[in-house]
């Protein structure tokens, strides 16, 4: 199925088999959130920390050139995006290289997503996967049967729950940011060189700033919190005593060898494939609910799809409608006022807001995540299967329907 979609990762451990498996997962992920793309993935086996920014740029541009020579990149072929170890800046270099090679095609910006906004990116893509993880956890656990099945209180609420996060990169940071913004307490964060534990709550913004500045959790004080504990073992986060554990680094974090240490009631797969099949069996046998990656981290590709649509239309979402929506609301409020209803300046400021690009993206993201979670829960209940199998069932059915109804010619 083409065009295809998926991220490019820079990780020393990346292998061809891993990329092939992740590409397959992307096909199904696109189907789950109704993104009309096939699946793809790319990888370069480097640890970017070993190279200067100029060297990483050269690697990125050479990699893009090789993709181009093999006809493996382009708006109607394959559209890469960021993944583990890659950034918006790398996507800008991919776009620029592609545009140089293609002779500045007007649709060139649609050759890659996750670009900086100034390079034709879309507002909201940077945080999309993490925000989608937040929406997904909220939607799954707001379902009474799912929450009760995990041994959580019903009704469940983010604000009354505790969270542990493995990996405070793009996905992990934004998931933590929106969880904290909505009142949830993040009490454990695991990074490359250690785990930060604080029952009173980890200040996610301060920890992120510390990691950016020092590339290490060492020396983090959490505002001199007396309950802070720093542990040198990055895997200690997996044993945190929380309601929801969010692995958001690499695949294979939870295996049959360590699944027994998990104390969370729910494992929310923000990363791709963080729970091995054998570990899934152990967690399920222990009554721990797994929210599957296929649905939970699909917000990234969904908003990437919005970014491609923006590039192909050559127009920012909301540009034609924002002011018109505000004028319509102004008219409505004035009419109400003429009929004797008092509208305060505060009401007016709150109500007269047309949807800008970010508002459009958040709306589409929330809608897509709610629909995918709802369908997954419905299929799981109807067929008496796990959420993961239900997500696969929906995705495989959609792909089969698309291929079957297309037929075969010549
Ligand atoms: N970026 C995206 O839009 C999407 C990413 N994903 C998946 O989410 C996962 C994370 O991706 P990103 O956040 O983009 O990568 P990233 O490179 O921005 O962040 C990864 C983070 O994990 C940390 N990390 C590495 N090894 C660790 C360990 N052993 N313990 C704890 N932390 C460790 C890194 O230091 C880094 O902060 C990957 O599995 C990726 O495939 C899935 C959907 C979309
Ligand atoms: O945004 C995209 O196109 C791809 C995101 C991705 O790599 C993933 O969902 O694993």
CB count within 10 Å of CB 177 equals 19
- Contact assessment for residue 368 and residue 302, using Cβ atoms and an 8 Å cutoff: yes
CATH of region 4-121: 3.40.50.10860
What percent of the chain is predicted at pLDDT more than 90? 97
User: Which class does domain 126-296 fall in?
Assistant: alpha beta
State the pTM of this model.
Answer: 0.97
Residue 48's DSSP bridge partners are: none
pLDDT-derived band of residue 2, with 50, 70 and 90 as boundaries? confident
102-159 pLDDT, tens per residue? 987 889 999 999 999 999 999 999 999 999 999 999 999 999 999 999 999 999 999 9
Instruction: Name the residue with higher pLDDT: 352 or 410.
Output: 352
Query: What is the maximum span of the chain, computed from C-alpha positions, in angstroms?
Result: 71
Residue 73 Cα to ligand 2 midpoint, Å, equals 15
Tokens of 286: 């222990």
Rounded to 10 degrees, what is the CA torsion of 218, 223, 227, 232? Answer: -10
Q: Are the C-beta atoms of 166 and 209 separated by less than 8 Å?
A: no
Mean of the pLDDT values across residues 176-182? 98
Return the domain boundaries, the chain: 4-121, 126-296
Whether 4 lines ligand 1, by a CB cut-off of 6 Å, is no
Q: What is the ipTM of this complex?
A: 0.99
**Whole-number pLDDT of residue 148:** 98
Neighbours of 44 (CB within 10 A): 19
Report whether residue 174 contacts ligand 1, using a CB cutoff of 6 Å.
no
Of residues 2 and 170, more confidence is placed in 170
The model's pLDDT over 225-282, given as tens digits with 9 standing for 90+, comes to 999 999 999 999 999 999 999 999 989 999 999 999 999 999 999 999 999 999 999 9
Using the mean position of ligand 2's atoms as its centre, give its distance from the Cα of residue 272 in Å: 10
Q: What is the reported pLDDT for 65? A: 98
CB 279 within 8 A of CB 114: no
pLDDT of res. 106 = 84
Q: Report the alpha-carbon angle 205-206-207, nearest 5.
A: 90
Query: Fold identical between 4-121 and 126-296?
Result: yes
User: Which one of 3, 6, 305, 365 would you pick to mutate in the ligand 2 pocket, going by the greatest count of ligand atoms within 8 A of its CB?
Assistant: 6
pLDDT in tens, 54-106: 999 999 999 999 999 999 999 999 999 999 999 999 999 999 999 999 987 88
Q: Which atom of ligand 1 is the closest one to the Cα of 81?
A: 3
Residue 159 near residue 183 (C-beta atoms within 8 A): yes
User: Residue 272: CB within 6 Å of ligand 2?
Assistant: yes
- What value does the mean pLDDT of the chain take? 97
Q: Determine the distance separating the centroid of ligand 1 and the alpha carbon of 333, expressed in angstroms.
A: 47
Beta carbon of 300 within 6 Å of any ligand 2 atom: yes
DSSP letter at 317? T
Select which of 41, 95, 115, 265 is catalytic. 41
Confirm whether 41 is a catalytic residue.
yes
């Amino acid at each position: 199925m083409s065009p295809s979609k998926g991220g490019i990762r820079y990780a020393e451990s990346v292998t061809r088999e891993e990329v092939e498996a992740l590409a397959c997962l992307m096909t199904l992920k696109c189907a789950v959130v109704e993104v009309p793309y096939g699946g793809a993935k790319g990888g370069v086996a480097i640890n970017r920390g070993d190279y200067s920014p100029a060297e990483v740029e050269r690697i990125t541009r050479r990699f893009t050139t090789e993709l181009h020579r093999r006809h493996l990149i382009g708006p109607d072929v394959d559209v890469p995006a960021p993944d583990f170890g890659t950034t918006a800046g790398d996507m800008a270099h991919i776009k620029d290289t592609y545009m140089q090679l293609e002779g500045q095609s007007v649709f060139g910006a649609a050759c890659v997503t996750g670009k900086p906004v100034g390079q034709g990116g879309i507002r909201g893509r940077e945080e999309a996967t993490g925000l989608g993880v937040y929406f997904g956890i909220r939607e799954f656990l707001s379902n009474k049967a799912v929450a009760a099945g995990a041994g959580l209180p019903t009704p469940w609420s983010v604000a009354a729950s505790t969270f542990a996060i493995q990996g405070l990169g793009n996905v992990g940071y934004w998931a933590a940011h929106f969880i904290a913004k909505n009142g949830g307490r993040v009490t454990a964060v695991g990074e490359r060189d250690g785990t930060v534990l604080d029952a009173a709550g980890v200040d996610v913004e301060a920890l992120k700033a510390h990691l950016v500045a020092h590339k290490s959790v060492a020396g983090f004080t959490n505002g001199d919190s007396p309950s802070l504990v720093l542990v040198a073992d990055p895997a200690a986060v997996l044993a945190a005593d929380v309601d929801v554990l969010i692995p958001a680094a690499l695949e294979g974090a939870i295996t049959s060898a360590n699944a027994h240490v998990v104390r969370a009631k729910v494992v929310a797969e923000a990363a791709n494939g963080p729970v091995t099949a054998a570990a899934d069996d152990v967690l399920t046998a222990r009554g721990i609910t797994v929210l599957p990656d296929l649905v939970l981290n699909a917000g990234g590709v969904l908003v990437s799809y919005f970014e491609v649509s923006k590039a192909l239309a050559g127009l920012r979402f909301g540009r034609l409608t924002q002011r018109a929506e505000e004028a319509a609301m102004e008219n409505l409020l004035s009419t109400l006022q003429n009929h004797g209803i008092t509208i305060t300046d505060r009401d007016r400021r709150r109500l007269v807001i047309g949807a800008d690009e970010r508002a459009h993206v958040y709306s589409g993201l929330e809608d897509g995540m709610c629909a995918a979670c709802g369908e997954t829960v419905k299929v799981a209940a109807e067929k008496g299967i796990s959420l993961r199998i239900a997500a696969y069932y929906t995705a495989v059915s959609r792909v089969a329907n698309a291929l079957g109804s297309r037929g075969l010619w010549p």
